[in-house]
């Protein structure tokens, strides 16, 4: 049986501690940085290899590759009660095999019906999803948000849809222009509000309301004001984005109220947080506790061993 003296035990303890430290600290020694905060891009040029394809060497696939393109921009419409029209969403099959397309409308089923899905697409062609849009005459004035969920084989694409429903004969024209469509929480959203009086042509008092709404039905009231306008006015406005707000795509909804008439306008806004790179050796709480305990025990053992050596020498 092998007997270990105190020096051997101390050396063994150090080796075990060093090995444990290396295992725990490995994520911080890989030369990679950690990004905190993300932005989401809906749509884009999508390439989707299967799990088996992913295991193959570069350029070798067990079957033709699927690649497609869906325009990532939202479908924005301004309509009046009683309007009917057909809109299209182009899809490009950029791959080398046929793909199957289907679609479902989310939150706007009463206005929109997909006309020609499902369908199959051969390689290298462009085909359009046709949407029948019908705004009933009894529809209330406002901004309506929803999405079309496009399934392409086993992939899902979400395309935002924004419908502004305005009166047939508005007394005012309303236009919202954003300086920047991307902004962080707790920052000022800057906009230029342009209002034209086309109905009264005399000093008229109106109320403007500003709301932020997402595609899941959450809404934030940002501000409201009452102004007097004679013919035309341009307002430079700053709206503070709430500090506690989920990241993602929103719509700034501007409503002009004059007596019993409402006019609306909208602009899409993305709420995001910047990418922050952590230093390579930044430690989390668990790692800091382990290192503190390890150093404390190591120093204590060294002191004890040194004292025993000194006593033996005496």
Q: Tell me the per-residue pLDDT of 90-130, one tens digit each, with 9 for 90 and over.
A: 999 999 999 999 999 999 999 999 999 999 999 999 999 99
Pair 107, 143: CB distance under 8 Å: no
Instruction: Round to whole Å and give the CA distance between 174 and 263.
Output: 7
Task: Please write the tens of the pLDDT for every residue from 230-283.
Answer: 999 999 999 999 999 999 999 999 999 999 999 999 999 999 987 665 555 566
Is the sign of the CA dihedral 48, 270, 257, 228 positive or negative? Answer: negative
Residue that wins the pLDDT comparison between 309 and 221 = 221
Tell me the two tokens of residue 28.
Answer: 């911080």
Q: What was the pLDDT predicted at 290?
A: 73
Element (H, E) at 294: helix 285-313
Pair 81, 135: CB distance under 8 Å: yes
Output the 3-class SS for 94-130. Answer: CCCCCEEEEEEEECCCCCEEECCCCEEECCCCEEEEE
26 DSSP 8-state letter: G
Confidence of residue 284 (pLDDT cuts 50, 70, 90): confident
* Mean pLDDT score of the chain: 82
Closest CA to 43 of 152, 168, 145, 117: 152
Q: What was the pLDDT predicted at 288?
A: 74
pTM higher than the cut 0.95: no
Instruction: Round to whole Å and give the CA distance between 311 and 303.
Output: 12
Tell me the two tokens of residue 180.
Answer: 């920047």
Pair 91, 115: CB distance under 8 Å: no
Domain definitions of the chain by residue range: 6-34+278-313, 41-168, 170-276
Confidence of residue 41 (pLDDT cuts 50, 70, 90): very low
Specify the length of the chain in residues: 314
36: pLDDT strictly greater than 70: no
Q: Give, in words, the CATH class of 170-276.
A: mainly beta
CATH architecture for segment(s) 41-168 = Sandwich (2.60)
**Lowest-pLDDT range of 52-56, 94-98, 101-105, 170-174:** 52-56
Q: Compute the C-alpha angle 61/63/66, nearest 5°.
A: 95
28: pLDDT strictly greater than 80: no
Phi-psi region of 275 (alpha: psi -120 to 50; beta: other; left: phi over 0): beta
Confidence of residue 79 (pLDDT cuts 50, 70, 90): very high
Residue that wins the pLDDT comparison between 13 and 297 = 297
Task: Please write the tens of the pLDDT for every residue from 294-304.
Answer: 777 777 777 77
Question: Quick one: how far is CA 93 from the chain centroid?
Answer: 25
42: pLDDT strictly greater than 60: no
Instruction: Round to whole Å and give the CA distance between 258 and 277.
Output: 50
């Amino acid at each position: 049986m092998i007997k270990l003296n105190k020096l051997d035990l101390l050396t063994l303890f150090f080796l075990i501690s060093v090995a444990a430290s290396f295992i725990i600290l490995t994520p911080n020694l890989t030369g990679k940085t950690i990004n905190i905060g993300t932005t989401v891009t809906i749509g884009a040029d999508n390439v989707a290899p299967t799990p088996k394809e992913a295991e193959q060497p570069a350029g070798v696939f067990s079957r033709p590759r699927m690649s497609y393109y869906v325009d990532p921009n939202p479908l924005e419409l301004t309509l009046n009660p009683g309007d009917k029209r057909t809109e299209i969403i182009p899809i490009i099959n950029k791959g080398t095999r046929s793909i199957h397309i289907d679609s479902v409308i989310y939150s706007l089923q009463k206005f929109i019906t997909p006309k020609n899905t499902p369908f199959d697409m051969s390689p290298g062609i462009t085909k359009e999803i046709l949407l029948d849009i019908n705004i009933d005459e009894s529809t209330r004035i406002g901004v309506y948000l929803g999405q079309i969920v496009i399934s392409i084989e086993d992939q899902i694409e979400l395309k935002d849809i924004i419908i502004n429903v305005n009166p047939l004969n508005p007394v005012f024209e309303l236009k919202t222009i954003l300086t920047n469509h991307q902004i962080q929480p707790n920052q000022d959203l800057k906009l230029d509000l342009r209002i034209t009086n086309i109905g009264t042509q005399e000093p008229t008092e109106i109320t403007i309301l500003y709301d932020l709404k997402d595609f899941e039905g959450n809404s934030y009231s940002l501000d409201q004001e009452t102004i007097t306008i004679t013919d035309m006015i341009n307002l430079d406005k700053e709206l503070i984005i709430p500090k506690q707000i989920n990241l993602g795509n929103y719509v700034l909804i501007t409503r002009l109220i004059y007596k019993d008439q409402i006019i609306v306008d909208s602009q899409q806004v993305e709420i995001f947080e910047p990418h922050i790179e952590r230093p390579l050796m930044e430690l989390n709480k668990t790692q800091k506790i382990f290192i503190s305990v390890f150093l404390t025990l190591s120093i204590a053992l060294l002191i004890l061993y040194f004292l025993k050596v000194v006593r033996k020498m005496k």
